[in-house]
Amino acid sequence: MILPIITYPNKQLKALSSEVTHFDERLHLFLDNMFETMISSNGIGLAAIQVANPIRALILCIPDEEGNQHKENLIEIINPVIHTPRGTVLYQEGCLSVPGFYEDVERYESLTLHYQNRHGETSILHATDLLAIAIQHEIDHLDGKLFIEKLSYNRRKKFEKEYKRALKEKK
């Protein structure tokens, strides 16, 4: 089932998501729905709060060199904790909750992630490149933060003006 994606400036996106404690069939069905929703919207990452569920769960499916996404590359990340972040890098980010807007954001270049899978089993992942960037972007969602909050004052002002105009044009 495709779920509706919440978009900025909806205040639900500011929620602090809660730890997942039940790794049951309900969670599995929800994760399956998140995947369907993300793929149908051409996303590479989605956090549960973006579909109105404030739990610490996110999914990522990094495209291959031809830009194609494969379900075997899907990573379901629950209750993530970042360890040993290293370096910084600028990357132009986009977000399904901020449609039509892309901006350079500074992130750690690499990190080690401790997380649980859909069965509650603990895993450790070393991430670099787009995977490391997307992990940080999605974990920010779990903490109620959007990438636009990392923009400089002037870039944020420009964004607000352009975004408001785009919203008006859509109506």
Query: Footprint of ligand Y12 on this chain (CB under 6 A)?
Result: 41-45, 91, 93-96, 99-100, 133-134, 137
The residue at minimum Cβ distance from Co ion is 95
Sheet holding 122-128, edge to edge: 45-47, 57-61, 74-93, 103-116, 122-128
Query: How remote is the C-alpha of 121 from its chain's centroid?
Result: 21
CB of residue 114 to ligand Y12, shortest distance in Å: 20
- Decide which of ligand Y12, Co ion, none touches 108; Cβ closer than 5 to 8 Å per partner kind: none
Is beta strand 103-116 parallel, antiparallel or unpaired with respect to 45-47? unpaired
- Decide which of ligand Y12, Co ion, none touches 42; Cβ closer than 5 to 8 Å per partner kind: ligand Y12
For residues 106 and 88, the answer to whether their CB atoms sit within 8 Å is yes
**Which CB atom, from 9 or from 120, has the smaller least distance to Co ion?**
9
Instruction: Find the catalytic residue in 76, 93, 103, 138.
Output: 138
In sequence order, what are the beta bridge partners of 123?
115
| Three-class secondary structure of residue 136 per DSSP | helix
* 160 noted as active-site residue: no
The contact mask relative to Co ion for 73-112 (x = CB under 5 A, - = no) is: ----------------------x-----------------
> Residue 128, class by beta-carbon neighbours within 10 Å (0-12 exposed, 13-18 middle, 19+ buried)?
middle
**Residues with a known catalytic role:** 138
Where on the chain is the footprint of Co ion (CB under 5 A)?
A: 95
